[in-house]
Chains A and B, each alone.
Chain A
Amino acid sequence: MWTYILRRALYSIPILLGVNLITFLLFFMVNTPDDMARIQLGAKHVTQADIHTWKEEKGYNKPLFINTNQSGSAILTDTIFYQKSIPLFQLDFGHSDSGRNINKDIAQRMWPSLALAIPSFIIALITNIVFAMWMVMLLGTKLERMSLIFTVALMSISGLFYIIIGQKIVAGMWHWFPVSGYQSGFESWRFVMLPVLIGVVAGLGSGVRWYRSIFLEEINKPYVNTARAKGLSEQQVLFKHVLKNAMIPILTGVVVIIPSLFMGSLIMESFFSIPGLGSYTIDAINSQDFAIVRAMVFLGSILYIVGLLLTDISYTWVDPRVKFK
């Protein structure tokens, strides 16, 4: 098993290299360091000398890929590409364009993000599965058809609607929760409750439909008939047999996003002023801080690849038929 995991991990290296190359092309070639300097220094009345000092400060004053002024291996290493890529692989994100330490920021901001993302993920998972099971139980009835249309309606509503209306009514008018803000430690639950609730409701429509389609594929298999013929109750059939067998498709979709929970939710966090990584990214986008956006893109890719790896590993737990080749 370990050789298998190692092989999968090795396979992710070229992907990370590719991600790095793409982000580099985007952030340094399409948008040259000169452009960045102009944005950071405030577009108008910037002299070439100002730009030069800014680039020197940030280490953007080297050639992009090949430095012809150097000799030996420095031809390749004394370039922006090398200097800016290697630290990324060591998970050292350096300093933002406005001079803040990105690693420190991430270490500090990951906790609010996790406080929001983990409960949202778990509660949504359970609610979606339970509702989907319930709909499968009602298969063929009028109630099932109605709730199917209802889920379509739920997923046709813009996510922004749930957030804006939820914030306005539940927090603004009924005062059940604070409208926005965050407090670290145990008190955080009061601030996290509403965004979690809204997140679960907003994802309910598409979530339930996704699980339902998985269960429907299982429900016609022979083992379900056997279980029913044995005289098991419908609940037992569904929650014991169907759920277990549906684990593989569920895991494929679910495990891959677990590491990405770390990144936080862009929209939720900025609406509810939760100082997590999501709002960090949004702020960076709005202030056009390319160093932070680049760091977050790279971090997100790493987490996605970790997710793929975890998916592969998780198969071994639920499906003994899976062999490592």
Chain B
Amino acid sequence: MTFVWLWTDFLLWVLFALSMVAVVKIRGNELLLQKWQKIFAQPLALSAFIIFTFYILIGLSDSIHFRLDNNTTTYSVLDRVLLPALEAEEKTYSTPLNFEQFSKEYLDNGLRGRVHLNLVSDEITNAGDNNKNLLAISVNALLYAAVIFIAFILVLLKFTSVKIRRNRSVLVTIFTLMFFCVWVVLLMPNYHILGTDKAGIDVFYKAVKSIRTGMVFGLLTTLLALPPAIILGLMAGYFKGKTDDVIQYIYTTINAIPGILLIAALVLILQVYMDEHASDYASALERSDLKLLLLCMILALTSWTGLCRLIRAETLKLSELEFVQAAKVFGISNIKILFNHLMPNIMHLVLISIVLDFSGLVLIEAVLSYVGVGVDATTMSWGNMINAARLELSTDPVVWWPLASSFIFMFILVLSANLFADRVRQVFDPKGDEDA
């Protein structure tokens, strides 16, 4: 077994390490700790955070790639977990949790009928059997989930002082997640949970694999946009004068170019470049991964200006305050003032912008794919799924499940991110409405 490190894998794990460092730092800082405790004190925000973390964990498990010794295919950890769905190849469409194909065709016996799916056990031959089987699996899943949940509660009560009453909605979220996991694990070997698409590929597999793409888009773009935004914002606000003029000029100019057109133009150019240098990449996976990363860079290039302007304005105010003046009088170097004295005081803006931008970026991925300037066609993403599913809606009967799956998966991620972001903004923004 050899590990394969893609660029985005590497950066995601760097990001993960950075956030772990941040957690350690927060735990050591009384004031920050209090703020975070306040964030999680709201059950809605905590629930949203749990779901968000769940997505992140799936995305991270999809970011460890390896190649088996006797095989040329690259798998991720997630691929191995979802192997039954990945390897079961059907011929064409089938509806969610069905036992036979969607459309009728001529069978071996000469009659018209629906072909039995490869993945589903041969014993199930009619809808009644199928429903009974599904019900049995669901009841089992409920029981297992209940057992795990009760064990979880007991552990929680034993080792922490969590108040069950106050956090009912959080516990409901946790239980739902547990049930969902057990249900998926039990169903996976026997069913296509969200049906199959035109080529017979499992839709659930595609939707889950798309989580990583959305996550890379939402997180790496902001990560890449942070350094220019922070450094230039601080410099403009602190040095003022000529530096300020130049930096303001740069971001006004970039702002003036319509964002989506700038992105489209850059991606077109990128496409031409990559087509011409197609032979430079070791595999299709690496090529599509590099394209994803470059796409993030392009988005970062157009999106750092907003945060930069905020940081500049805040730094302008801060640099008039006594502590900065005192630092100057003591002869502390400009770089030290910028990074040791000013930067910690603008970090709340950075945090708010990270969480607020995340959901917008995930949504924009779908739009970009539609416009034709999105991720590589071979990358699994919600945008590509929606794009492919548009034509399916006009068929009769309607093929709705690929479209519905991608929208629902995207909606849950974006909703939880938005709810969490809202709370973070409320607590960290000095102007925020701290009503709840």
Do chains A and B stick together as partners? yes
CB pair B386–A160 under 8 Å, yes or no, is yes
Most buried by B among A26, A39, A161, A266: A161
Contact residues in A for B252 (Cβ distance below 8 Å)? 15
Q: In the complex, what distance in Å separates the CA atom of A156 from the CA atom of B372? A: 22
CB pair B415–A152 under 8 Å, yes or no, is yes
CB pair B422–A152 under 8 Å, yes or no, is yes
Q: In the complex, what distance in Å separates the CA atom of A31 from the CA atom of B276? A: 11
Contact residues in B for A282 (Cβ distance below 8 Å)? 371-372
Chain A nearest CB, measured from B308 CB (Å): 16
CB pair A263–B269 under 8 Å, yes or no, is no
Most buried by B among A157, A160, A294: A160
Interface membership of chain A positions 1-21, coded 1 if the CB is closer than 8 angstroms to chain B and 0 otherwise: 000000000000011101100
CB pair A158–B419 under 8 Å, yes or no, is no
Residue of A with least CB distance to B270: A30
Binds B, one of A49-57, A61-69, A226-234, A297-305: A297-305
Chain B nearest CB, measured from A51 CB (Å): 14
Residue of B with least CB distance to A286: B372
Contact residues in A for B255 (Cβ distance below 8 Å)? 304
Of the residues A16, A288, A297, contact of B258 by C-beta under 8 Å? A297
Residue of B with least CB distance to A157: B411
Interface membership of chain A positions 206-218, coded 1 if the CB is closer than 8 angstroms to chain B and 0 otherwise: 0000000100110
CB pair B415–A156 under 8 Å, yes or no, is yes
Q: Is B253 an interface residue (CB 8 A)?
A: yes
CB pair A164–B390 under 8 Å, yes or no, is yes
Q: Is B296 an interface residue (CB 8 A)?
A: no
CB pair A158–B435 under 8 Å, yes or no, is no
CB pair A267–B367 under 8 Å, yes or no, is yes
Given A15-B249, A26-B266, A153 and B415 touching (CB < 8 A)? yes
CB pair A15–B253 under 8 Å, yes or no, is yes
Q: In the complex, what distance in Å separates the CA atom of A15 from the CA atom of B407? A: 40
Interface residues of A in 119-151 (CB under 8 A from B): 140, 145, 149
CB pair B366–A304 under 8 Å, yes or no, is no
Given A23-B265, A266-B260, A18 and B253 touching (CB < 8 A)? yes
Q: In the complex, what distance in Å separates the CA atom of A145 from the CA atom of B435? A: 10
Q: Is A96 an interface residue (CB 8 A)?
A: no
Contact residues in A for B258 (Cβ distance below 8 Å)? 260, 263, 296-297, 300-301, 304
Q: Is A35 an interface residue (CB 8 A)?
A: yes
Chain A nearest CB, measured from B257 CB (Å): 5
Interface residues of B in 260-284 (CB under 8 A from A): 260-262, 264-266, 268-269, 272-273, 275-276
Chain A nearest CB, measured from B145 CB (Å): 26
Chain B nearest CB, measured from A91 CB (Å): 16
Secondary structure of the B contact surface, majority rule? helix
Chain A nearest CB, measured from B265 CB (Å): 6
Q: How large is the interface on B (under 10, 10 to 19, 20 to 34, 35 or more residues)?
A: 35 or more
Contact residues in B for A159 (Cβ distance below 8 Å)? 363, 367
Interface residue count on the A side (C-beta < 8 Å): 50
Residue of A with least CB distance to B254: A22
CB pair B249–A152 under 8 Å, yes or no, is no
Chain B nearest CB, measured from A198 CB (Å): 14
Q: Is A311 an interface residue (CB 8 A)?
A: no
Q: Is A281 an interface residue (CB 8 A)?
A: yes
Chain B nearest CB, measured from A139 CB (Å): 8
CB pair A26–B269 under 8 Å, yes or no, is yes
Given A35-B276, A297-B258, A160 and B367 touching (CB < 8 A)? yes
CB pair B256–A301 under 8 Å, yes or no, is yes
Interface residues of B in 350-400 (CB under 8 A from A): 359, 363, 366-367, 370-373, 382, 386, 390, 393-394
Q: In the complex, what distance in Å separates the CA atom of A19 from the CA atom of B252? A: 10
CB pair A156–B359 under 8 Å, yes or no, is yes
Residue of A with least CB distance to B262: A297
Q: Is A168 an interface residue (CB 8 A)?
A: yes
Q: Is B234 an interface residue (CB 8 A)?
A: no
Of the residues A155, A266, A297, contact of B265 by C-beta under 8 Å? A297
Q: In the complex, what distance in Å separates the CA atom of A186 from the CA atom of B133? A: 59
Given contacts A23-B265, A160-B386, A285-B268, 10 further A-B contacts (CB under 8 A): A15-B256, A16-B256, A26-B265, A27-B265, A30-B273, A152-B422, A267-B367, A296-B258, A304-B257, A305-B256
The 7 sampled A-B contact pairs (Cβ below 8 Å) are A16-B256, A31-B273, A156-B414, A159-B367, A161-B411, A297-B261, A300-B258
